[in-house]
Chains A and B, each alone.
Chain A
Amino acid sequence: MTMASDSYALQLDEMIQLFQEYKSGSVTLDNITKLCQTLGLESFIDDIDAETSRLSTASKIIVIDIDFSKSIGRVKDVKLVLASNFDNFNYFNEPVVQANNDSNSNEGSNILLNSLTQYPDLHQFHHNLKFLYLLDTFSSINIDANNNGGPNNDGGGGEFSGELDLFKYFTELAQFLRQYFADQGAPLKVVTNLNNRFGIYIMTQLDRVLLAKITFEKSRDSQQRLYEYVYYEGNKEWINESPESFTSGVSMVMEISDKTNPTWFPKDYVPKELVLDEGDSNDKINDVSPNEFMNSLSMNASRGKFQVMNDFTTQLVPLRKFDISNDNSELIIEILRWIQWSRTVLYPIYKTLNAPEDEATKGDAGKEGTVTANGPQGRHGSVAAEHRKRRHSSKNKRSSMTEATMLKEEGLQQFNLQELMTDQDTDLNQGSEKASTGLLGVDKMQVDDQAIDDSDTTCQLVFSEDRVSLENVAQCTLYDDMAKWDSFIEAFKTYSI
């Protein structure tokens, strides 16, 4: 077993994987056998009769029977059996017709069979087989103690105390999530397996837009434990079923499905150690990255019909994948909330403001914009519950922004904002916030009034990561419900025309 840590073996593994990804081969019995064996599954071919060959491929828990027709040279049927107590594993697509329970007519179709009949090569099958093999490898079940996995299991010891059947957990997870979303009042639909791929898919209830996928993945740290967190309806919370039952080396992950644009998050929305796949910071939406755009907006810039007040207290980073294992499952709803908030509210505003126009405001903006973006970073720790505090801290911040705007409007633009902020230290403690507000003797209403006075055609838009407001017409925050977001955007659109 020390072999696995050997760099020679690792390089071979990498080559094998590259070849597999490059060309998994056409759908022949020979190629399927090779693929299975290369993954580490024991495979045998039996001639059932003159017409059918059966390839049986198996690991610790899974047994897959693939029936191949000799005459037509195609796969006829695939069955998956688990050698564990649990044999209700769902390897079917979610039934296509929803809200209609006459099960026979619209039962979902067999993913494994589809992967071998609907595609020109074995790529899809390979992908699905890897998922099954992962669940197999990292399930801790006492069936056969001496068989602890193939090349993936480089943890060494592999001493499991309790049991965690990932096949069972995966199957039950969808129901937990449904209940969880229902209790949270989140209008989300949970679907097990989609488009012939394993996974738990989360989409919007109404227009079925895919938001994210939950699946399992080998963790970076092979010692990392996964406990069986289940959702209890009674307490309305995720609870560790049993502290003795865990498995090591695998994580539950949530991946954002971003066919259109990468999703940008406030830098500390999710604790750093839970971010598995950071997108490319250079990814752009409409040719400008959100951060560049924020920096280009001065404190109080005019964009089209709007007098924009840039109230962002943090930088945005594109994130794609998160570790939601164990008690991090509480993050699921927060992340989904953000995805929807950014798609429903932030992007449309961003797009409108960023529509090609004169670049007049770009000049002196850089300096101040950077201060906005960097100022509050020190406050944000990487604690799991940070996002709850964050809202509070950005409120503190807001008043300091307001006063900066005031200074500008009173003709004090020459004031270096960096000095101003470090001097007064507004964003570090609440006490000084009070003092400085008192010092300037203004409150928000006055700002709004003044903005209206400035011009009768423009409308003041305060734009920040978790709160937007349109003069005294409309406003909404990340924590409002979606109906309020929608009505805000409607109001915003009316003004932007």
Chain B
Amino acid sequence: MLQNEGLRQVHDMLVPHDDQSTQPSEFVPHLFYSLYQIRKDPSNSNQLETSTGFIKHRLKNCKSLIATNEDCRNLLSKSVEEWQQDIRNKEKELEVKRKMLDDLGKRLQVFKERK
């Protein structure tokens, strides 16, 4: 789905795949389940650290990938809405340029006819 290689890697790291057998669980359900286990057994407070280690690990990997990948950084620097606005702005710019070229073409035509 994602065309950008870097973003695709980030997505794969954060979002579980369809084949559940291999993939560890979704972050938020995992978090409340881990909290529930601490709630049940307060003596073992290191549990959260261990049980959520994989979340930390994957976030770390993501971070370093984004840090080294220029494309990723650039693409993630704007929100979806900001990108939409950006696209609209670029389209407007293009429109203006096209009009300018049109005008120039027409003026050239006029000069040609005068000659």
| Residues of chain A having any CB pair with chain B under 8 Å | 3, 8-9, 12-13, 15-16, 19-20, 22-26, 28-31, 34-35, 37-38, 73, 151
Contacts and interface: CB of A to CB of B under 8 A. Distances in A.
Nearest to A30: B25
B105 interface: no
Given A22-B28, A37-B36, 6 more contacts: A9-B42, A13-B39, A19-B28, A19-B31, A19-B32, A20-B32
Contacts of B28: 19, 22-23, 25
B52 to A, nearest CB: 12
A14 to B, nearest CB: 10
Q: Chain A: interface secondary structure? A: helix
Nearest to B28: A23
Nearest to B30: A34
B81 interface: no
Contacts of A25: 25-26, 28-29
Interface in B25-59: 25-26, 28-33, 35-36, 38-39, 42
A25 to B, nearest CB: 4
B20 interface: yes
A186 B42 CA distance: 54
B113 interface: no
Contacts of A15: 32, 35
B29 A35 contact: yes
Nearest to A35: B29
A19 B35 contact: yes
Q: Chain B: interface secondary structure? A: helix
Nearest to B24: A30
Contacts of B31: 19
- Please give me the 3 A-B residue pairs with the lowest Cβ-Cβ distance, nearest first: A25-B29, A19-B32, A23-B28
A328 to B, nearest CB: 35
A263 to B, nearest CB: 35
21 contacts: A8-B42, A9-B39, A9-B42, A15-B35, A19-B28, A19-B32, A19-B35, A20-B32, A22-B28, A23-B26, A23-B29, A24-B29, A26-B26, A28-B20, A28-B26, A30-B20, A31-B25, A31-B26, A35-B29, A37-B33, A151-B39
Given A3-B42, A8-B42, A73-B18, A31 B35 contact: no
Contact of A12 (B18, B29, B33, B38): B38
Given A9-B39, A23-B28, A29 B33 contact: no
Contacts of B36: 16, 37-38
A73 B39 contact: no
A290 B95 CA distance: 53
Contacts of A13: 39
B26 A12 contact: no
Nearest to B31: A19
Nearest to A20: B32
Contacts of A29: 20
A19 B29 CA distance: 7
A19 B36 CA distance: 11
Nearest to B35: A16
B35 A12 contact: yes
Contact of B29 (A8, A34, A73, A151): A34
A44 to B, nearest CB: 16
Given A28-B20, A30-B20, A73-B18, A38 B25 contact: no
B32 A34 contact: yes
A38 B34 CA distance: 9
Contacts of B32: 15-16, 19-20, 34, 38
Contacts of A19: 28-29, 31-32, 35
Contacts of B29: 19, 23-25, 30-31, 34-35
B26 A16 contact: no
A29 B25 CA distance: 10
A238 to B, nearest CB: 40
Contacts of B30: 34
Contacts of A73: 18, 20
A301 B20 CA distance: 70
A184 B54 CA distance: 62
A249 B33 CA distance: 26
Contacts of A23: 26, 28-29
A41 to B, nearest CB: 11
B46 to A, nearest CB: 15
A27 to B, nearest CB: 11
A16 B18 CA distance: 26
Contacts of A37: 33, 36
A121 to B, nearest CB: 10
A326 B9 CA distance: 59
A38 B20 contact: no
A35 B38 CA distance: 15
A35 B30 CA distance: 10
Contacts of B18: 73
A31 B29 CA distance: 6
A34 B20 contact: no
Nearest to A34: B33
A19 B38 CA distance: 15
Contact of B33 (A3, A38, A151): A38
A31 B39 CA distance: 19
Contacts of A9: 39, 42
Nearest to A24: B29
A37 B32 CA distance: 10
Interface in B90-113: none
Contacts of B38: 12
B24 to A, nearest CB: 9
A31 B26 CA distance: 8
